[in-house]
Amino acid sequence: PSAPVIPYQHSLSLPQFPGFDDLYCKFCFVYGQDWVPTAGLEEGISQITSKSDVAPTTLVWNFPIDITFKSTNPSGWPQIVVSVYGPDFFGNDVVRGYGAVHVPFTPGRHTRTIAMFVPESTSRLQKFTSWFTGRRPEFTDPRVVAQGEGREVTRVRSQGFVTISFNVVTKDMKKLGYDVSPSDMQNPSLVPVTEGIHRY
Amino acid sequence: MREKLKAARSKAEITLLQEDPSPRPRRLKSTRERKTEVRLDKASDNDKFREMQEDESHLPSKIKFRDSVKKLKQKSTFQNDFPSAEEAYNFFTFNFDPEPDSIKAGARKRNELNEEEEAEEECVETHEDEQEEDETDEDVRLVKDDDLFIIGQTAEDFLVMKPADCESYSEQLKKEKEFLFTPSMLAVPTSEKMPGNMQPRYLEDEGLYTGERPFVSQSNQNILENRILRQEKGKKGDDGKILALPNPIKQSSTRPPILSLEEGIAPELETVYRKAVKMTAANQYLVGPGDFQGPFQLDIDISGLIFTHHPCFSREHVLAAKLAQLYDQYLARKQKNLTKLLTDKLHALRNAVQCSVDGGGAGVPSPVAQQSIPEYKIEIRQTRRLRDAEQEKDRMLLKTIIKVWKQIKSLRDFQKFTNTPMKLYLRKEEVDQRSDEKTYEAEIQAEINELLEECMEEYEKKMEEYKTELQEWKSWKKTQKSKKKKKKKDIHEEESVEDCDLGEERVKPIPPKMANSLEIEQQVREKADNCRRKPGEPALIPELVLSGSITPTELCPRAEVLRREDVKKRSAFIKVLFNSKEVSRTVTRPISSDFRVHFGQIFNLQIFNWPESLKLQIYETMGVSSTSLLAEVFIPVPETTILTGSAPMEEIEFSSNQRVMLDHEGVGSGVSFSFEADGSNKMTSMTSGKVSNSVSWAVGEKGIPLIPPVSQQNTGIPSALKNIDAIASIGTSGLTDMKKLAKWAAEAKLDPNDPNNAALMQLIMVATSGEAHVPDFFRLEQLQQEFNFVSDEEFNRSKRFRLLQLRNGEVVEFRNYKQVPLHEREISEKIFQDYEKRLQERDVIDSKNYLDAHRAVVANYLQKVRESVINRFLIAKHHFLLSDLVNEEEIPSLGILGLSLFKLAEPKRPLKPRRKERKKVTAQNLSDGDIKLLVNIIRAYDIPVRKPVMSKLQQPSKSSRSFNEMFAASSSAQSPPDSADWAFNQVLVRPFVEVSFQRTVCRTTTAEGPNPNWNEELELPFRAPNGDYSTHSLQSVKDEVFINVFDEVLHDAVEDDRERGSGIHTRIERHWLGCVKIPFTTIYFQARIDGTFKVDIPPVLLGYSKEKNLGIERGYDSVRNLSEGSYITLFITIEPQLIPGESVREKFDTQEDEKLLQAAAKYEAECTSKFPSRQCLTTVIDLNGKTVFITRYIKPLNPPQELLDAVPNSSQTAAELVARYVALIPFLPDSVSFAGICDLWSTSDQFLYLLAGDEEEHAVLLCNYFLGMGKKAWLIIGNAIPEGPTAYVLTLEQSQYVIWNPSSGCFYRQYDTFCPLQNVYCLISCDNVWFNMQEYDSPVRINFDISKPKLWKSFFSRSLPYPGLCSVQPEELVYQHSDKAAAVELQGRIEKILKDKIMEWRPRHLTRWNRYCTSTLRNFLPLLEQNQGKDVEDDHQAELQKQLGDYRVSGFPIHMPFSEVGPLIEAVHSTGVHTIDVSNVEFALAVYIHAYPQNVLSLWIYIASLVRNR
């Protein structure tokens, strides 16, 4: 069957987690039933990044991800789910945040900043023990952050940001009747829409 | 003005010139000036701006004075032309502060100066500015010069030393006065504002939109105007006001408050906690949320109710009511006294006429008077007519009153009792006969005169008319006559014409009659007689009193008594409805005998909504129950001026059109009745009455009336409506209602010119013009349609959308459909075929696939139950718990903590092997080929061995065993082997195991001997249906793992003996020995299956026999030989380990007592906390999805009498028979049919009807049968292999516990090693549940004595006694008798099907059927059924040998419960009988069906292959 092919290249970078260090990140893609990844890895793990000693003490992964999807239906547009892990005070590996964002529709370069969050412990005592034992509450499946179902039972706390830049190329979208390109194709939107969300 | 300015300019120039020669004091002065200038800057920036502009125009004049002017000009123009942004802003927005006091003082003085001076001052000031700038310019230049001449010159050359000079304060003031201008604060007259010859224009009046002006205080505005006036260049509008943009400031702030807790907050920004107040924003109509002024209150006082007609009225009441009404009318008329009024008027008019006539006679007749006389006369005439009518009415009224009163009196006489206290007195007022007559006569005379006068006038008028007419007529006559004369000479024929002419002849006018004065007089007198009191007649004044006495009830006739009783029963109350919502109601008060109801209640309505309607509903109650709405009365909403205390009582009439007929004296309502004896003169009355009430606005505590604000504007609409938007005033729903919107717009008087309202106005215009279609439906999602990307028809037609929709709806066929094609054409119709077929066939019972109609019905029913359950499950699947989403470590208990601490101290043992838990995999991210089934076949015991082909007949040792014998652990009864050497001489058997799963087959190597040891691992791939690896899908996998044991037989296939030396030709045959079936779901739920299983070996294996004693002789394992049959040890698991799905957490409805359920939950919690691995079952779910307490399932039930009759003496055999009967009912695991749902328990009758069920149904039925047979029996909830969690039955037989496997019919002793039951969790009887509290749960190691509370924790105990729960089971099971004929027919059909199948499976070979053998086998089968497949093996062998002679026979009977054909075919296929491809092979196949009651069929298939021995 004919299908639009949508290759992406992403690069994960610039996590902003105040107070945390030595973070690494797992990513995976969540997509609908009509989507098939044709090339690239849909799951992966990045290197551990540490804070720089000099002035802009940001954490940088600059981890490239290449993936190509094809689909017959825009429903279930791929989302990237990012979960960040890092050692806690005792050196246990704990989760530092979950987040998800849709891959941009339009071709071009986009930057997205994902607000990350972690599930909260159900009680104070739990919180303490989980801190003490280094086994914090985690999502059974990080994919749940890409969907709404069942989320009402969870309580989460926000915890930092991850910035992802996407380079999106689409093929045959228009031929198949989906016009997602901005009206002015000469200057695809270079201004990231969500940039700076965290500043507020 | 211009001239004046010019003059001022020249003056200023002169002053400049004067000043110029003395530059000496300038520095100081200029600094001072700068100061003032700064002040001015502050005070009036715009002045400066104006001045600068003006300066520009003056500049050329200055050329005379300065050389550097050019530069200056450039600079100044540069400065002046472009006011900075700040300046501009200040100009428009600055609120000018009042000037400092000193200046004010000065200003006051200055006001006295004339304009000219002021202008001059201005100019001077500006020039000062110039100078200053010049100076700086000069300085700049000077610096440059310095640069040029600096060499060789000293400072002294340039500097002049002088003392600082000072000006006195008064001088200073004086100078200031010259420069400063203080605008007046008084209003500027409009005339001055406008240019001389122009009229002010008001744009608003012309229909142009002018926005709201920003607020500027009047004084400031005046100051500004004055200032502008001064400069003559202000931006003034056409109406003389300063131009201003509309106010840009919003009413409410839109910027959210910034709340940051970290930073210190300015005290004024700090948030203050206020207690929550009830939000009054709900008051949509009344006020906006912003300006809520407090609650408003309406006081409704309902004082009472009076019926003017009621069905219970007696005739007297009707009359009395009429009388009362008339009397009221009379009183009202009397109060108005129209007659008197009109009479007086008449007199006055007459006097006036008289006066004017007299006046005319006396002096010069004024034309005015002349004119007015006829007017007066007309008026007199009218007034007289009115008076006469009124007088007549008065008289009529009086007459009717008297008439009605007479009627009442006569009625009272007639019925001999009184119902009403009414009495009418007529007071006579004596009058002076003479004066009365006089006035009467005078009146008549006056009238006569007037009439005469009128008549005369009329007569004169008519006379006039008559005269003119006569004149005309005469002239006409003359002409006619002359014509006649002419025509007489003509021919006779013309006579006819003449006739015509004569016909047209004009009628001669009749002279008017003179009015006869006598006639008129008579008329007048007659009329006076009719409507006026005769002279001398006393004036009658009626007076109605209620002083009469009512006849007591005892004295009344029966009908009246009934009526009065009926009245007593009735009562009334009133509901108060505000905006058609009931807000309160009065108490119910009885209707009194005079049909009045007194309420006297005041309701205080606190209102938020604008009152739209106030309504009273009057209800009447009859007796105790029936309440009927009599009528509704609308009360007008009071004017805002009506306050409580000052509101008058008002009576509002109501009436109802109910038709009531009563069977007593009451007249009813809507029913005609009459007062006459003969029934004539009928009349009908409707129930009616009056409510006296008053409605007023309440007055608050401080005397403030609680009235919603009323518009201050003269529009008369509530201002609340005006200042809020449309939505707030009519509600959002109103927006869809065009009419309402238009109405609102009309009421709110929107400014049609306001651009903000443009859209609205257009809408309203369209709406009111009636062009727009007003939808007559209500739409929930108004905007939905806009988002529809295709029309509904197209949507329904499209296959793609349908596919997507079905997938989204999680329909089974499409749930995991991937990659829905993009184009319509790529979707084939086939996709839907299955689905549609399923939908169609849902209700059609297709008996084709089922040989039995009953099974077809059952299958259909099961299918429906399954669907409903699955739907329920799908819904439940979308409910999430926290634990589903978040992985959280449980809080470690103190014990665990301690243990882990202890572990820390433990010495490390790195070499000790530890079991590593396998990683569990969630089923979601799996795909085909990821999952493998690992089957480890370890060893087998007691595989049947081949018999020597020509062995002699053996005498069978039939032993009728009893339980005791069986459990005696003695094998002495077994027959010894024929000969010792036979056993060791040859290879007994070469077994191998073949595992088939999902049509994939794997086999082990061949081992030797009856106790082979393989220890091989087989790996089989697993494919989930539709590639769906979700837990839900995996649970419903129906596939089974078949583990078949075969014997590999090598036959010498060499045809020719001569070749024997050179080559080996052997043929390998495989003979099926037995099998073990394990459903995949069991493996899935158990994660691993490890144990020794009994191989299902057919009762007869032709050519094989069981090696029974071998083990004992070898002393191998004495225990193992205790039971019969072959065993195989297996280990099965899935790699990787899958996490089995959890059962649905759904709260099912129940009919159980809530307390019982709570107790059950508590009990379960207690039990599982102690033994988390042991399942505690107290409540189960029945087939309708309701929670039922488990003991309700256990109840003694009668087994089929047929079975009991078969063996009347032996209870053991009967028990076995019953167990077999139960086992014959086909097995259908719940987990397959109701995937993911916890067990559904059907009752025994349902089970017998469905003929399919799980272990628990079998167990319940068997337990009930045992109880019915008088045994002690319990249900065991436990764990068994390979079933997993299951239910068994425990009986107590002669102080021994026997464990029954209900689905196979086998029974085991408690200490039986091969008992498949591994763990016992709880026991259930009909009245209690016991939980196993013992350390071990293996049946071998536990004590079944439930009377010991330490070992068995009971649910019902002394603290919670058994409440006597009634059973869900039927009283008695009714069995259908077995249908033998149908069984025979079915038998034939199955045989044919199987034979066809076997031939089908052998496509390359000829399949011969040995009829002789078949008939022999057919004879065996009933025998087998009779003996339940025991101890008949040797008979068969012998019999066959005898009959067939030289044949090598291999074959076996298969016994199954019959459910469907499919499994039969599968079973026959799996034995592989058909695989023999010897050329001369023959087959034999026989089927026997034994029908048990309730259509339970025991099916035997005997299949054999025969090879002739050569």
Phi, psi of B775 (to 5 degrees): -65, 140
Winning range, highest mean pLDDT, from B540-549, B1080-1089, B1137-1146, B1163-1172 = B1163-1172
Phi, psi of B684 (to 5 degrees): -130, 135
d(CA B157, CA B894): 104
A150 touching B, CB under 8 A?
Answer: yes
| Candidates A2, A33, A139; nearest CB to B886 | A139
Chain B: nearest CA to A128, how far in angstroms? Answer: 10
pLDDT over 80 (residue B238): no
| Candidates A138, A154, A176; nearest CB to B822 | A176
Tell me the pLDDT tens digit for each residue of B550-569: 777 777 777 778 888 888 88
pLDDT over 60 (residue B858): yes
Beta carbons of B882 and A141 less than 8 Å apart? no
B845's tokens? 């019972």
Mean pLDDT throughout B1025-1044? Answer: 75
Among A188-192, B197-201, B713-717, B1340-1344, whose mean pLDDT is lowest?
Answer: B713-717
Could you give the C-alpha distances from A184 to A189, A190, B256, B1072, in angstroms and in order? 9, 12, 35, 76
Confidence of residue B122 (pLDDT cuts 50, 70, 90): very low
Confidence of residue B224 (pLDDT cuts 50, 70, 90): confident
Would you call B1276 exposed, middle or buried from its count of C-beta atoms within 10 A (0-12, 13-18, 19+)? buried
What is the spatial order of strands in the sheet that B1496-1508 belongs to?
A: B1408-1409, B1482-1492, B1496-1508, B1447-1457
d(CA B761, CA B755): 9
Beta carbons of B886 and A149 less than 8 Å apart? no
- Contacts of residue B817 in chain A, CB cutoff 8 Å? 33
Tell me the pLDDT tens digit for each residue of B338-370: 778 888 888 888 787 777 766 544 445 556 666
Beta carbons of A72 and B821 less than 8 Å apart? yes
Taking the CA atoms of A125, A129, A134 and A138 in sequence, report the sign of the dihedral they define.
negative
More confident residue, B275 or B54: B275
pLDDT of A99 = 92
More confident residue, B776 or A82: A82
d(CA B351, CA B187): 60
Tell me the pLDDT tens digit for each residue of B750-764: 666 666 666 666 666
Phi, psi of B1186 (to 5 degrees): -110, 150
Cβ neighbour number for residue B693 with a 10 Å cutoff = 25
pLDDT over 80 (residue B665): no
Tell me the pLDDT tens digit for each residue of B876-893: 677 777 777 787 777 766
CB B1138 within 8 A of CB B931: yes
Tell me the pLDDT tens digit for each residue of B1447-1500: 777 788 888 888 777 778 877 887 777 877 777 788 888 888 888 888 788 888
Phi, psi of B1034 (to 5 degrees): -65, -35
Confidence of residue A100 (pLDDT cuts 50, 70, 90): very high
d(CA B1073, CA B1452): 9
pLDDT over 70 (residue B807): yes
Would you call B76 exposed, middle or buried from its count of C-beta atoms within 10 A (0-12, 13-18, 19+)? buried
pLDDT of B1226 = 79
Residue found under tokens 């050196």 = A91
Q: What angle do CA A24, A27, A31 make, to 5 degrees?
A: 170
Confidence of residue B210 (pLDDT cuts 50, 70, 90): low
Confidence of residue B199 (pLDDT cuts 50, 70, 90): low
* Residue type at position B1173: S
pLDDT of B711 = 39
Beta carbons of A73 and B820 less than 8 Å apart? yes
d(CA B566, CA B562): 6
- Could you state, in order of their start, the residue ranges of all structural domains in chain A? 12-176
Q: If contacts are CB pairs under 8 Å, which of residues 40-69 in chain A contact chain B?
A: none
Mean pLDDT throughout B980-985? Answer: 43
Mean pLDDT throughout A169-188? Answer: 67
Beta carbons of A33 and B892 less than 8 Å apart? no
pLDDT over 60 (residue B12): no
- Contacts of residue A95 in chain B, CB cutoff 8 Å? none
Q: Percent of chain A beyond pLDDT 90?
A: 5
The CATH class of A12-176 is: mainly beta
- Contacts of residue A150 in chain B, CB cutoff 8 Å? 878, 880, 884-885
Alpha helix ranges (H) inside B429-540: 433-488, 494-503, 517-531
Winning range, highest mean pLDDT, from B253-267, B625-639, B855-869 = B625-639
Chain B: nearest CA to A131, how far in angstroms? Answer: 11
d(CA B10, CA B14): 6
**Residues in Cβ contact with B442 at an 8 Å cutoff, skipping those fewer than 6 apart:** none
- Contacts of residue A122 in chain B, CB cutoff 8 Å? 882, 888
Could you give the C-alpha distances from B135 to B31, B60, B69, B130, B816, in angstroms and in order? 12, 18, 11, 8, 92
- Mean of the per-residue pLDDT values of chain B: 72
Mean pLDDT throughout A47-64? Answer: 81
Q: What angle do CA B182, B184, B185 make, to 5 degrees?
A: 125
- Contacts of residue A154 in chain B, CB cutoff 8 Å? 882, 885-886
Beta carbons of B881 and A153 less than 8 Å apart? yes
pLDDT of B849 = 53
Q: Is it true that the peptide bond before B907 is cis, omega within 30 degrees of 0? A: no
B880 touching A, CB under 8 A?
Answer: yes
A-B contacts at Cβ under 8 angstroms: 82
More confident residue, B203 or A50: A50
Q: Percent of chain B beyond pLDDT 70?
A: 65
CB B1391 within 8 A of CB B1415: no
Beta carbons of A137 and B888 less than 8 Å apart? yes
Confidence of residue B21 (pLDDT cuts 50, 70, 90): very low
Beta carbons of A73 and B822 less than 8 Å apart? yes
Distance of CA B453 to the CA centre of its chain: 85
- Contacts of residue A121 in chain B, CB cutoff 8 Å? 888
B893 touching A, CB under 8 A?
Answer: no
Mean pLDDT throughout B859-879? Answer: 72
CB B1130 within 8 A of CB B935: yes
Could you give the C-alpha distances from A162 to A11, A40, A45, B399, B541, in angstroms and in order? 11, 22, 14, 103, 103
Cβ neighbour number for residue B951 with a 10 Å cutoff = 15
Mutate to test the interface with B, among A34, A145, A199 (most CBs of B within 10 A): A34
B822 touching A, CB under 8 A?
Answer: yes
Mean pLDDT throughout B219-231? Answer: 81
Chain A: nearest CA to B927, how far in angstroms? Answer: 14
Confidence of residue B1116 (pLDDT cuts 50, 70, 90): very low
d(CA B594, CA B613): 31
A148 touching B, CB under 8 A?
Answer: no
pLDDT over 50 (residue B964): no
Tell me the pLDDT tens digit for each residue of B1140-1164: 665 555 556 677 778 888 888 888 8
CB B292 within 8 A of CB B586: no
pLDDT of B960 = 38
Chain B: nearest CA to A75, how far in angstroms? Answer: 10
Residue found under tokens 């063996």 = B1207
Tell me the pLDDT tens digit for each residue of B39-54: 444 444 444 445 444 4
Tell me the pLDDT tens digit for each residue of B146-186: 444 555 556 666 777 777 777 788 888 888 888 787 777 77
d(CA B583, CA B611): 13
CA-nearest residue to B815 within chain A is A33
pLDDT of A81 = 92
Give bridge partners of residue A109 from the DSSP assignment: A167
Confidence of residue B1110 (pLDDT cuts 50, 70, 90): very low
pLDDT of B1292 = 86
| Candidates B880, B887, B924; nearest CB to A137 | B887
Mean pLDDT throughout A57-62? Answer: 81
SS3 label, residue B346:
helix
**Residues in Cβ contact with B950 at an 8 Å cutoff, skipping those fewer than 6 apart:** none
A133 touching B, CB under 8 A?
Answer: yes
pLDDT over 80 (residue A121): yes
SS3 label, residue B174:
helix
ipTM score of complex: 0.78
Among B127-131, B681-685, B1250-1254, whose mean pLDDT is lowest?
Answer: B127-131
Q: What is the DSSP string of B1485-1497?
A: EEEEEEEEGGGEE
SS3 label, residue A40:
strand
| Candidates B818, B821, B882; nearest CB to A154 | B882
d(CA B16, CA B134): 13
A135 touching B, CB under 8 A?
Answer: yes
Give bridge partners of residue A156 from the DSSP assignment: A119
Chain B: nearest CA to A192, how far in angstroms? Answer: 25
pLDDT of B41 = 45
Q: If contacts are CB pairs under 8 Å, which of residues 26-45 in chain A contact chain B?
A: 33-34, 36
Confidence of residue B949 (pLDDT cuts 50, 70, 90): low
Beta carbons of B819 and A72 less than 8 Å apart? yes
**Residues in Cβ contact with B1360 at an 8 Å cutoff, skipping those fewer than 6 apart:** B1159
More confident residue, B66 or B779: B779
B255 touching A, CB under 8 A?
Answer: no
Confidence of residue A98 (pLDDT cuts 50, 70, 90): very high
B821 touching A, CB under 8 A?
Answer: yes
pLDDT of B1055 = 63
Q: How many CA atoms lie within 13 A of A102 on its CB side?
A: 11
pLDDT of B760 = 64
A3 touching B, CB under 8 A?
Answer: yes
pLDDT of B742 = 63
Tell me the pLDDT tens digit for each residue of B390-411: 888 888 888 888 888 888 888 8
Alpha helix ranges (H) inside B570-684: none
- Contacts of residue A151 in chain B, CB cutoff 8 Å? 885
Cβ neighbour number for residue B1422 with a 10 Å cutoff = 12
Give bridge partners of residue A114 from the DSSP assignment: A162
